[in-house]
Amino acid sequence: MFTYRISLLLRQTGALLGLSLFATACITLDEPQAEFPVDSPVYLRSAADPLRAKPMDSVLVKAPAGATVANMPIDSGLIRNIAQQTGPAVVSIYTRSKTAYRVHLFPIKLPLTHFRVNLPGIGLGSGFFIHSSGYILTNNHVVQNAQEILGLTHDGEEVPLRIIARDPAYDLALLQVVQPKHEYPVLPMGDSSEIEVGEFVIAVGNPLGLGRTVTFGIISQTDRTLSGVDEAEGRHIHFLQTDTAINPGSSGGPLITLQGAWIGVNTAGAEGAQGIGFTVPAAQALEFIQDVLAGRGERDL
């Protein structure tokens, strides 16, 4: 796995963040953004073969019916309890890759003043356990170019991860701990169709490589489409929109109701906006996992 351990990766990440702050006066780097190609199939790795025709509960834990949302008094103790209950299932994800960057020669992005380079880089993201045997859900854009993937659990365990399947259209990826040594804490999947505008939610993730961070907000809108196409033209995400903060590195973390059920995979915050973030709903994550179990997709080499 990685030549360097997580502690060194964190120091390198901090140095890169500090450098980027000072570099903006002369040269800036633009990281690739998440893309959602509507014509993309699900991609299956060879590690997905043993899952074909397996029951859903061998990969995913669902919350009991009616346990996604509920009316309850809101106080700081409730938020604290939900954060403590769900946090152990969230994983910080670190990747090594050769990723294409755009180098800008001036702080203002002028035409013909940038070029593309491939730099060995450290990627940051989040994920969460959906089954105690070590299956993790995250975003496709967190891992799609990764040469190596390492997870850091809430108690400091470093676990090597491998990709089982990816879905670029829904920006989802299913990962698995390589040779798990014990069972892992799990977040149960809620029913995202029960979610309405104004529901309270929390997000847990790894923003900027700082480690487990909890943010709190509401659902701002449901069924938000950003692709500009209809269903007849291709598959696209029916986002949940939230004002819960989703920062770089939080991608792939869960959006969680006050019942402790995840109802979405946090994907992106709107650049230049305040309080506008987007989450892939659990219903589409379930569709992705159903495709994996049915063997529907193309081989991901």
Give me the active site residues, please. Answer: 141, 171, 251
Dihedral angle over CA of 194, 61, 265, 156, nearest 10 = 140
CA atoms within a 13 Å half-sphere pointing along the CA-CB vector of 146 = 27
φ/ψ of residue 10, rounded to 5: -65, -40
Tell which residue, 173, 132, 232, 230, has the closest CA to residue 48.
173
As a three-state string, the secondary structure of 122-173 is EEEEEEEEEECCCEEEECHHHHCCEEEEEEECCCCCEEEEEEEEEECCCCEE
Dihedral angle over CA of 207, 212, 214, 220, nearest 10 = 50
Which residues, 6+ apart, have CB-to-CB distance to 264 below 8 Å? 192, 240, 254, 255, 279, 280, 281, 282, 285
Neighbours of 196 (CB within 10 A): 9
